[in-house]
Amino acid sequence: MKIAILGTRGVPNNYGGFEHIAGYLAKGLVEKGHELTVYNSSRHPYKEKEWMGVQIVRCFDPEYLIGVPGQFIYDLNCILDVRKRKYDILLMLGYTSSSVWGFLYPGKTAVITNMDGLEWQRTKYSKPVKRFLKFAEKLAIQSSQFHLADSPVIKDYLDAKYGINSKYIAYGANPCPATDENLLKDYGLNKNEYFLLMARMEPENNIEMILDGFEISGSKMTFAVIGNTKNRFGGHLTEKYKQDKRIIFLGAIFDDLKVQTITSFCKLYFHGHSVGGTNPSLLDAMAAKVPLAVHSNAFNKSLTKENALTFTDATDVCELINADNYYNEKHIQNNYFTINNHFGWDQIIGQYEQYILSCYYSNKPYYPIGREEGVLLK
C-alpha cells in the first residue's frame, strides 16, 4: 500500500512530537511491506532522498523567511505535490496549518487526520488565533474521512462535539530503552543526582511553575531541562534562571540514546504538559522506570493513573522535592507494565496498520465542498 505522511517538518526527527511518531511509524510500516513517503521541509538538515527505506519528498518551506504564514505555504506545497501522485492513504499529522487546504486533498485517496491536542487551549495564542484554531479543527473534521486521537480524552471530546467515531491510537515508547551512563558526563550530570523535564518551551507545559518550585525548595540537586530554548518563552526562561547554577538548559536533543540515557538516570522526572493528548516524553519516562511527578490533569492521569506524584502549582512542586520520597517500586512497575503491554512501538505500529487497512477498504467516495475526484470544483 502506498502511504504518504504529511504535516511534519520531516524525518529523521529534528523537531518534536509528530516528527517523533512519523519516524517510528514510517520505518515500522516499511518493515511490514508498505511503501512510505514522508514529506520533509526544505529546511530539514537531512538531505537524502531515502531514510530507513522511507522515501523523502522535500517541499519548499518559507517559514524562516516570513514566519508563521510560511507554515501554511509549506503545507500547501506538500498537498499540491501529493495531488500529482497516486497514494492509497494520506496521513495528516495535525491540522493547524493544513486543514485550510482540505478542499485540495486528492479525491480518490483515503485521508486520515491525527487531530493532535486541543490547540486552541494553548495559552500562547491570542483570542483571534484561538478562534482560527477552532475553525481549523472543524475544517479538519470536514475535510477528512477518518480521524485519529492520541488520547482517550481527545477522542471523547471529538466524538461528542462533532458526532464522529474517531479512533484512539496513542504514541509509543521503547520498553527497556538502551542507555550509556558514560554519556551523562557530556552534560555535566551524575547518575540519580538530578531532576529532569523535557518539553517544548511553551507556557502550557508549566516549565516555569516547576522551576519556580525547584528554586524555592532549596534543593542542592541539579535540575536539567531538555528542550529548544531558541524561542521567546525559552529566552524568558533562560534569562530568569541564569543566576541559578543548579538549573541547566541542555537544549534540544534528538539522539534517542542520549535522551533515553538522561531520562533513565534521573532522580525524578517532572512532566508539566497540560494541553494535548498522549505525550511521547511521558511515555519514555514511564518506559525508563523512573519516578514521575506530573501536572494534575485528565491527559496525564489517563496514562499514569495513580502511579505518579502530582502537582498543580509551584508550592506543590516545592513540597514534592523537599519530601524526598520519590521512589515507589509499585508505581514504577505499574507504569512499565502499561508501556510494555499497551504502548510499545510494535503494538502502536500494528494498530496504525490495522486502522489504515480498515480505512482503505472502507473508503467510499467522499468529497467535501471543493473536492471531487482530485479536481478542483469551479
Per-residue pLDDT reduced to its tens digit, 237-261: 999 999 999 999 999 998 989 999 9
The pLDDT of residue 14 is 85
- Mean per-residue pLDDT, 308-332: 96
181-343 is a CATH 3.40.50.2000 domain? yes
d(CA 23, CA 50): 12
pLDDT band of 120, cuts 50, 70, 90: low
First to last CA, the chain: 32
- Mean per-residue pLDDT, 210-215: 98
Contacts of 156 (CB under 8 A, 6+ apart): none
d(CA 250, CA 359): 42
DSSP secondary structure string for all residues of 216-266: HHT--SEEEEES---SHHHHHHHHHTTT-TTEEEEE----HHHHHHHHHT-
Higher-scoring residue by pLDDT: 116, 248: 248
The pLDDT of residue 374 is 36
In which residue ranges of the chain is CATH 3.40.50.2000 found? 2-172+344-376, 181-343
- Mean per-residue pLDDT, 127-142: 91
Scanning the chain, the segments in alpha helix (DSSP H) are 17-31, 63-66, 69-82, 127-143, 152-162, 207-217, 232-240, 256-264, 280-287, 298-304, 314-323, 329-338, 345-362
In tens, the pLDDT along 361-372 reads 886 544 444 444
The pLDDT of residue 291 is 97
Percent of the chain residues topping a pLDDT of 70: 93
CATH topology of domain 2-172+344-376: Rossmann fold (3.40.50)
What secondary structure letter does DSSP report for 146? E
From the list 86, 77, 95, 89, the residue with the least C-alpha distance to 41 is: 77
pLDDT band of 199, cuts 50, 70, 90: very high
Task: Examine the pLDDT at 65 and tell me if it is beyond 50.
Answer: yes
Half-sphere exposure of 217 (CA within 13 A, CB side): 26
- Grid coordinates belonging to 94: 495535525
pLDDT band of 121, cuts 50, 70, 90: low
- Mean per-residue pLDDT, 187-203: 96
Would you state the torsion angle of the CA atoms of residues 263, 266, 272, 273, taken in this order, to the nearest 10 degrees?
Answer: 10
In tens, the pLDDT along 23-39 reads 999 999 999 999 999 99
Q: Work out the mean pLDDT of the chain and round it to a whole number.
A: 91
